[in-house]
Amino acid sequence: MCAKMAFQHQAGTAMECLSIPITLQKETEIDAHGEEVMKCGFKIGGGIDQDYRKSPQGYTDNGIYVTEVHEGSPAARSGLRMHDKILQCNGYDFTMVTHKKAVGYIRKHPILNLLVARKGVTST
């Protein structure tokens, strides 16, 4: 029941499900222009402004999902996995967020304390 609620959730409605805590510390790199950038090593898709029915990954709601995790990255080392659904980031509710706001929030912080839902995980 919990997994169904997490992955077919209607934005704005209450939900109760198991969440997995993940702490991700970004790495500082120098870009092509000599500027310092913080890298986390993952990409996201989704958001309340997106049509999940057009998702190539087949997601079933408007949540924020991890669509790519780069091998050897801070995201990979922290245990984040492709298709994880981000429920919270540093205490900020990601179940009611646009794609642009989610990207901006992730970029803003050097450390990400995430709560994610993962298909098939019913207990830790």
Going by the DSSP 8-state scheme, the letter that residue 88 receives in this structure is E
Residue 54 has pLDDT above 90, yes or no: no
The residue segments making up the domain with residue 92 are 2-11+20-117
Question: Is residue 12 packed enough to be buried (19+ CB in 10 Å), middle (13-18) or exposed (0-12)?
Answer: exposed
Q: Which amino acid is at 26?
A: K
Model confidence at 18, pLDDT cuts 50, 70, 90, reads: confident
* Mean pLDDT in residue range 4-23: 69
Residues of the chain with pLDDT > 90, as a percent, come to 67
* Mean pLDDT in residue range 47-64: 86
Compare 17 and 110 and report the one with higher pLDDT.
Answer: 110
User: Number of folded domains in the chain?
Assistant: 1
Distance CA 9, CA 7 (A): 6
Instruction: Indicate whether 122 belongs to any domain.
Output: no
Instruction: Indicate whether 33 belongs to any domain.
Output: yes
**pTM score, two decimals?**
0.82
Going by the DSSP 8-state scheme, the letter that residue 2 receives in this structure is H
Domain of residue 58, CATH code:
2.30.42.10
**8 Å CB contact between 95 and 116:** no
